[in-house]
Amino acid sequence: MSFPELKNDRFLRALAREPVDMTPVWMMRQAGRYLPEYRATRARAGSFLDLCKNTELACEVTLQPLERFPLDASILFSDILTVPDAMGLGLYFEEGEGPRFRKVVRTEADIAALPSPKVESDLDYVMRAVSTIRRELNGRVPLIGFSGSPWTLATYMVEGGSSKDFRHLKDMIYSTPELAHALLGKLADTVTEYLNAQIRAGAQAVQIFDSWGGALGWRAYEEFSLRYMQQIVDGLIREHDGRRVPVILFTKGGGLWLESMAATGCDALGLDWTQSLDQARRRVGDKVALQGNMDPAVLYASPSAIRAEVKRILDEFGPHPGHVFNLGHGITPHVKPEHAGAFIEAVHEFSAR
């Protein structure tokens, strides 16, 4: 499958720590509820999960933010929980409650019974979306594929949905760590295959979202989260269509482990807003690029305040290669689209070389 030549590659060049004419910018959750056109498309789809599984509509919402804003990357519209859904756990979304599963995974028998999905067929709707989006982008910007980390996926699978304390999974890692490792190993194998299938379908970079890694203790993070992200990085396709496929690791609350994360062989680290870009750069040196890290709540402020914070962050990073500007987590539903536009415009304006 061949795709049009890439016209704007500053995102990929920044991840490779090469010089760029201006700092590239994209937003986690850039296709989402803050856009009225997204809400209209989701209403047409019938539900969030139906939207994820409808190739044409998933493509439509992926492209919506690019029609509004001069973003430097596009990210596949999907959800991290497609993987456990393909393992037969029965994903559904409850209004006001978030994602839930009809089955939970808490015993040795539960883990043994988990099927290993054939990602090309069991998650074919994701691969169709990737190739359709890549074709419709027509080389405008690169397409990012993604997955949740094994630890983050396990939190939902063991708890049955969102959790504040992760008590069942934390009980497992301390009481029966061999069960946790069996589950995480199975997930790491599946995520590796899943991301490689996205790359073969047309994803030009991939990001691993370790949304809940920061809930772990110092040693537990390296044993139960980073170890399995390392396994994935080791198993990923790193060259495709004659170009390197960079991988970004993003652990929310992961500032304690930047050196260990950088040592995995990933190309970039995503940083949340609790980290200093300058300190992070000094800690990891020239091993990796850095992505981030403005507090998403800044987008509730006035455009002038948004511009001031963008300039502060750019000044903090300094005139070094290897910065992709992003929020420190996903854009929130109540942000005004014009404030997102002011943010993106400011990044390009203040970083233009």
Known binding-site residues equal: 29-33, 79, 156, 211, 329
Provide the H-helix boundaries in the chain.
Answer: 10-15, 36-45, 48-53, 55-68, 82-86, 108-113, 119-122, 124-137, 150-159, 167-175, 177-201, 218-221, 227-235, 258-262, 277-284, 303-317, 337-351
Q: Which of 13, 39, 68, 79 is the catalytic position? A: 79
- Helix axis angle, 167-175 to 150-159, nearest 10°: 110
Joined together, the tokens standing for residue 253 give 């609350």
Of 13, 39, 42, 244, the active-site residue reads 42
Residue tagged active-site, from 10, 34, 72, 156: 156
Give yes or no: 33 in active site.
yes
Indicate if 238 belongs to the active site: no
CA neighbor of 193 nearest in space, from 274, 298, 122: 122
Q: Residue ranges for the binding site for substrate?
A: 29-33, 79, 156, 211, 329
d(C-alpha 143, C-alpha 165), whole Å: 34
CB atoms within 10 A of CB 299: 24
CA–CA distance, 215 with 293 (Å, rounded to integer): 19
Active site residue 110: no
Query: How many other β-carbons are positioned within 10 Å of the β-carbon of residue 159?
Result: 22
Q: Given 13, 33, 200, 244, which residue is catalytic?
A: 33
Catalytic residues: 29, 33, 42, 79, 156
